[in-house]
Amino acid sequence: MPLPYVGAAPTNPRDVTNVGYDTSMVNASITQTQVDSLLAQGFYGYVTKAYVDSQDALNATKAFIDTGDATRLHLTQIGAGNGVAGLDETGKVDVARVNVASTQRFPTPYLSPGAYNTAVVTTTAATESALFPPMTVADPGFTYRLLVTGVVDATSTVDATQWPTVRVRQGSATGQIVAMGRGIQEFYTVTGQTGAKPSGSVTIIPYYLQLQAPVTGPTTLYVMALKEGTGTGTISVTTTRPALMVVPVPA
C-alpha cells in the first residue's frame, strides 16, 4: 500500500499529482463538467497530435521549393527578350530597351547662331534692320514654340532721346515675334559727361509662349534691330559680345 503524501498540496494544474489529491477529488464527488474544466486547465498550453501533424505537413519539400523558384526572376531573364529591362550603373534603363517612337519628346540643348555679323549694324529709323544672319532651327521632331534669350550691346549718337529695340521673328523678317529686347532709356542719357557716348546692353527675353503660334518642322529666326524715341541720330549695334540662345519647347 503506497504511503500517503505529506508534502505541500498542489497549487498549480501542472504540478505532479499524488494519491492523496486524487482521493480528495474522488471523495468530493465532482461533476463531469468540473472534471472537463480541470482537464482543460491541465492541458492548457499544450497542443494536440492533430495540430502537430498539420504543422509538420508545412515543412519544405522539394516540390514546394521548385514551385517557389518558378515564381522568381531568373538572372537570364534580365535584359533579354520577353524578360525585364536591366539597369545600368546609373540606375537607368538602356534606351534601346524602351519602345518609343522617334518623335518622343526629349529635352534639347540651347541652340545658337552659327555666326554673327562681323560688322557693326546701324539704323537711323524706326524700321527694322537685320542684326544677325538668319538662324536655322532644325526640326526637333515635335510641334513646338521657341524660347529665345540673348543680349547685344548698342550705342547711340543722340543723348537721352533715342534707344534701340531688338525683335526676334520666326519664319520671316516680318513673321511672328518670339522674343524682344528694349534698351533702357536711362542708359542712353549721359548729359554733362564730356565725350561720353550713350550706350548699354539690350537684354532679349522670350515673348509670351502661350501667345506664339506652334511651329512644326524646321524654321528660321530673324533678329531685327530698330530705333525708338524722338532722336534723329544713329543707333549702332556692336559685335563685341552678341549672344542668342534658342530652345524648342513642346507646344
| Grid cell at residue 130 | 537685320
pLDDT in tens, the chain (251 residues): 556 656 666 666 556 666 677 777 777 778 888 888 877 887 777 878 888 878 777 777 788 788 888 888 888 888 887 788 888 888 888 777 777 666 555 556 688 888 887 788 888 888 898 888 899 999 988 899 999 999 988 888 877 788 888 999 999 999 999 999 988 766 666 655 555 567 788 889 998 888 899 999 999 999 998 888 887 888 888 766 788 899 998 88
Residue 244 CA to residue 116 CA, distance in Å, equals 9
For the four alpha carbons of 209, 215, 219 and 220, in that order, the dihedral sign comes to negative
β-strands 199-206, 235-237 pairing: unpaired
- The letter for the amino acid at 49 is K
Encoded amino acid at 201, one letter: S
pLDDT of residue 219: 96
d(CA 17, CA 248): 93
For residues 226 and 121, give the distance between their C-alpha atoms in angstroms, rounded to a whole number: 10
Q: Could you give all domains of the chain from N- to C-terminal order, each with its CATH number?
A: 1-69 (no CATH), 73-102 (no CATH), 121-250 (2.60.120)
| CA 172 – CA 242 distance, rounded (Å) | 21
- How far is residue 165 CA from its own chain's centroid? 37
Of the candidates 192, 184, 172, 159, the one whose C-alpha atom is nearest the C-alpha of residue 128 is 172
176, 165 Cβ separation under 8 angstroms: no
pLDDT at 175: 95
Tell whether the torsion through CA atoms of 76, 79, 85 and 90 is positive or negative.
positive
For residues 123 and 119, what is the distance between their CA atoms, to the nearest angstrom?
13
